[in-house]
């Protein structure tokens, strides 16, 4: 079992001066927990990534805080590393119940805006999203929604109470947490708004999903950037510019040392996938769809819309670099990689 798949435990560990690791339960493909970090100071605590929406995760969070000696009233800040529900899900309720500031990157946004009027047909918007992809006009319908967990969007929107950050950070901004200054590092790729925080005094990096210890984050081709894989590579390279990192605190898996080595291993992984696509295209000897090429990157168990989505991101990276050609046949994109 990969570290990121391990189920949440009730163990609370101090992973740095004034930094506690709390594990919250989740059940998502390839993930068994999310790390919520509590940063202690004279005011109470700031929480990083307070888990999924819903009562089970929130009960676990309040129980862990009580175990650490902090009532909810002492939560003064919530930091959200990026716009995925296992990271921002608890932020809205914490804000409502404690008045906590919600901190995120300036570009933080989800695929729907919680400020939209109630008559916006989120269900219809989700159906359109699910049933047509950039690489296939037929889309995936219920298969996409089942894999992503988006089965009742109106209910999900109300449950999440998606927060709009009250404090927006830009790259290189400084924020005071755990009695020390932390530097914001914008790291788009996994999402457009991904934010890491670096503590130069203690050498601690809150890496979110950007750098994980044994798996790589999903790189989606469905976002607004034309080449999210190139974005991700550039953001990985920025990690080498952070001097004195002694420990990385990921959103899933265990805290780890050796950030530079892990960054290079992740880059090699994606470069190997690009080479696999080239070899598969040569072997086929003809244009192939995203779904067909995806079978050369992912195991049968992992096949599906998310695998195709990441395959599309890799193919577009190759196309934009001049190493692939694409044609459209009956609403489906077909690629040849050279």
* pLDDT computed for residue 137 by the predictor: 80
Q: Are 218 and 246 in contact (CB under 8 A)?
A: no
**267-337 CATH pick, 1.10.10.580, 3.10.310.30, 1.10.150.20, 3.20.190.10:** 1.10.10.580
Average pLDDT for the chain: 90
Domain limits, the chain: 3-110+162-256, 122-155, 267-337
Q: What is the full DSSP assignment across 152-217?
A: -HHHHHHHH-PPPPSEEE-TT-EEEETTEEEEEEE--SSSTT-EEEEETTTTEEEEETTS-SSS--
Position 102 scores a pLDDT of: 97
Distance CA 284, CA 294 (A): 13
pLDDT bin (cut points 50, 70, 90) of residue 117 is: very low
Distance CA 191, CA 81 (A): 10
Q: What does R_g of the chain's alpha carbons equal in angstroms?
A: 20
Label residue 267 exposed, middle or buried (CB < 10 Å: 0-12, 13-18, 19+).
middle
Asked whether the whole model's pTM tops 0.85, one would answer yes
pLDDT at 224 over 60: yes
Confidence at residue 139, expressed as pLDDT on a 0 to 100 scale:
74
Distance between first and last Cα of the chain = 36
135 by DSSP, 3-state: which?
A: coil
pLDDT of 121 reads 47
Q: What is the 3-state secondary structure (H, E, C) of 232-267?
A: HHHHHHHHHHCCCCCEEEECCCCCECCHHHHHHHHH
In this structure, of 101-115, 168-182, 244-258, the range with the lowest mean pLDDT score is 101-115
Burial of 284 (0-12, 13-18, 19+ CB in 10 A): middle
Mean pLDDT on 25-42: 94
DSSP 66-103: HHHT--GGGEEEEE--SSSHHHHTTHHHHHHHH--EEE
With a cut of 80, say whether residue 265 has pLDDT above it.
yes
Residue percentage of the chain with pLDDT more than 70: 87
148: pLDDT strictly greater than 90 = no
Position 28 scores a pLDDT of 83
Banded model confidence at residue 119, pLDDT cuts 50, 70, 90 = very low
User: Residue 234: what pLDDT?
Assistant: 98
pLDDT score recorded for residue 122: 45
Tell me the per-residue pLDDT of 151-184, one tens digit each, with 9 for 90 and over.
455 545 544 456 789 999 999 999 999 999 999 9
pLDDT at 114: 46
- Domain at 3-110+162-256, CATH class: alpha beta
Question: Does pLDDT of 118 surpass 60?
Answer: no
């Amino acid at each position: 079992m990969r570290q990121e798949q391990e189920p949440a435990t009730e163990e609370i560990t101090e992973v740095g001066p004034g930094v506690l690791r709390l594990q919250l339960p989740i059940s998502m493909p390839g993930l068994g927990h999310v790390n919520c970090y509590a940063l202690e100071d004279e005011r109470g605590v700031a929480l990083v990534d307070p888990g999924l929406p819903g009562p089970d995760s929130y009960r676990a969070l309040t129980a862990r805080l009580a175990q650490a000696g902090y009532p909810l009233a002492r939560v003064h800040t919530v930091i959200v590393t990026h716009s995925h529900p296992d990271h921002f899900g608890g932020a809205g309720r914490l804000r409502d119940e404690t008045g906590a500031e919600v901190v995120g990157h300036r570009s933080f946004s989800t695929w729907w805006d919680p400020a939209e009027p109630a008559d916006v047909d989120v269900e219809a918007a989700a159906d359109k999203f699910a049933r047509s992809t950039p690489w296939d006009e037929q889309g995936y319908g219920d298969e996409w929604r089942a894999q992503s967990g988006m089965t009742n969007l109106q209910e999900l929107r109300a449950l999440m109470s998606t927060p709009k950050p009250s404090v927006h950070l830009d790259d290189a901004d400084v924020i005071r947490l755990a009695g020390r200054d932390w530097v914001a590092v914008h790291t788009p790729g996994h999402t457009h708004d991904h934010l890491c925080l670096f503590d130069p005094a203690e050498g601690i990096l809150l890496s979110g999903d950007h750098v994980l210890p044994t798996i790589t984050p999903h790189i989606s081709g469905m976002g607004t950037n034309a080449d999210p894989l190139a974005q991700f590579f550039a953001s990985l390279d920025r990690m080498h510019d952070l001097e004195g990192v002694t420990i990385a605190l990921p959103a899933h898996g265990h805290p780890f040392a050796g950030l530079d080595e892990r960054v290079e291993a992740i880059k090699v992984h994606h470069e190997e996938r690009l080479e696999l696509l080239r070899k598969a295209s040569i072997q086929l000897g003809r244009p192939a769809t995203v779904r067909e090429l995806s079978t050369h990157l992912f195991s049968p168990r992992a096949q599906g819309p998310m695998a195709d989505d990441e395959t599309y991101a890799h193919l577009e990276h190759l196309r934009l670099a001049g190493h692939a050609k694409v044609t459209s046949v009956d609403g489906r994109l077909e690629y040849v990689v050279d």
